[in-house]
Amino acid sequence: MRRNILFILLGLLIFAGLAPDRIAAPAYSLENGTAVEKSLLGLYHPAYINIEGMLAETGKDHITQQTRSVAALSGAQKIPLSSATASNAELVYTTYLQDSGWQPEVQEGAISGGAALPLEAVRVHLTHLAEAGSVSYRTYRQDSGWSGYAKNGEAAGVTGAGEAIEAVQFKLTGALAAQYDLYYRVQTGRFGWLDWAGNGETAGTEGFRYPVEGVEIVLMNKEQAFSGKREQSFIKRVEPVLSYSSYLTDSGWQEPVLNPEQSGSPDSSQSLEGLQAKLDSQPYPGSISYRAATSENGWFEWTQDGLEAGLPGTGQRIERIEMQLTDELAAYYDIYYQVHVPGLGWLDWAKNGETAGTQGYDYDVSAVQMQVVQKDAAAPGETAVAFMKYVPKPPPVPVVPSVPTYPTGPDWTVQDGIFRTNAGTNYYVGSSYIIISIAYQRVWAYIGSQRIVDAPVITGRPSMPTPRGLFAIQPYKESPSVLVGEDYESPVQYWIPFLGNAYGLHDASWQTQGFGGDLYLYLGSHGCVNTPYYAVQTLYNTYSVGTPVVVY
């Protein structure tokens, strides 16, 4: 009886021409002859309606006699009532929650899921069909792609397999598609509720492995205006783009470049005084953090996202850098970087906070390269020697042998100032001399019977051997010095020539695999004797021009 009275009253209002002024948004429809306010689709707050004395709330697993809830979508639009709305199609759906199974069916406008559990499948069907057609839908899983279309209550997705849905599509077919629009949105593990998609569009994410945790669907007559937000219903992961710039001593800030291009001037004498880096696009939350060090001040504080590192414009030159990604970005990507050092060239790639450059050699960085790659992917190049640090070693403590009382080596002796080998070589060297063995790849130096130096060396490669014979330190010593050849120009700290100014002993910071053994066979010099820093430093400071040098 109450329904009949309400219907009669509503008919009188319409007949009197008052309905258009009084019936305002959300919207109304006829349910079994009763006018019911459609206010169930509050986007974030529960909305309540009273249907025949019963209270219903959106977002619950089940809503008794829930109606088409377009209130939050239609805004202030006035929806005229007509007898045709009594035969409108109704939408019912359910979702399969991981570790929880199929949920109770809900009617359109309600949330299915929403319990922070991944969805594995969905089922949708229509009731009260007055038009021909159906609802079709499919799901997207990152490891399997799109499923085939299901329809009218069939399951889309795979239940019990542990593979969550990341995106969905819903659409109507047949005459239904001509009369109705279908709108839907999803709640994701990272972004929360996304905006509304409609009529076959994609709702959800791709490439993040963020599961769908809730679904909400609305069926609307095409004459109803949809006012739900539709800007971002689908988010697809994009690869991060890193841009960076360097400040050069004589040129200032350079134009930014994108990874993995070079920034700086590897072919000039200019050095880096400042560095900036930022992410122009990124798929996950996080930052790029970096710092620089100079020989004068050591490490500066960490900075990030386009801020300056170093002291640009002060003449203080960067000699090493460190870089890293932060937050969720660091869980999915690695950052590699390398620096160019004049005299050494491009060092190898450093990674995720490691140091790139040099320390203690007074070398500067002249250029830098960076590259962001997916986590645990192959490095963009060699990674063995990204950083070189000079650690000074004290000269060895002189040891006076008890027996014999004269200097001796593996195949030589010096008695009465005469150097002799087991093979019969004889040179007069006096009481102060330097001996270099090609066979044993070693240098010895004595003053009387006191051994001053005993160290491994690297002599000339087989194609460019170190000359053998009796020589002497001449015509001068030089510190520092630059070795110049046809295809190289190498700075060294100590240069002790013994044959013209072409062959001599010198330090070799580029020899990063050590000295001695058979390294000269494939890392040999152009004929000079590459000597550890501490040994050549002692030789330089101890022996004067004219000191005999034996190479045998």
Which positions are catalytic? Answer: 506, 528
Contact at 8 Å (CB) between 243 and 372? no
Rounded to 5°, the CA angle 107-212-156 comes to: 65
Give the position of tokens 């406008």: 109
DSSP 350: E
The whole-angstrom separation of Cα 503 and Cα 525 is 10
The whole-angstrom separation of Cα 460 and Cα 455 is 16
What are the Cα distances from residue 270, in Å, to 358, 369, 393?
A: 17, 16, 31
Q: CB neighbours (10 Å) of residue 58?
A: 24
Element (H, E) at 138: strand 135-141
Element (H, E) at 19: helix 19-22
Contact at 8 Å (CB) between 279 and 359? no
Sign of CA dihedral 33, 38, 40, 46: negative
DSSP 545: T
What are the Cα distances from residue 175, in Å, to 68, 86, 130, 181?
A: 19, 18, 10, 11
Strand, helix or coil at 428? strand
Give the position of tokens 């922070």: 116
The whole-angstrom separation of Cα 165 and Cα 168 is 8
Strand, helix or coil at 304? strand
Query: Among 484, 264, 292, 260, which Cα is nearest to 372's?
Result: 260
The whole-angstrom separation of Cα 379 and Cα 395 is 39
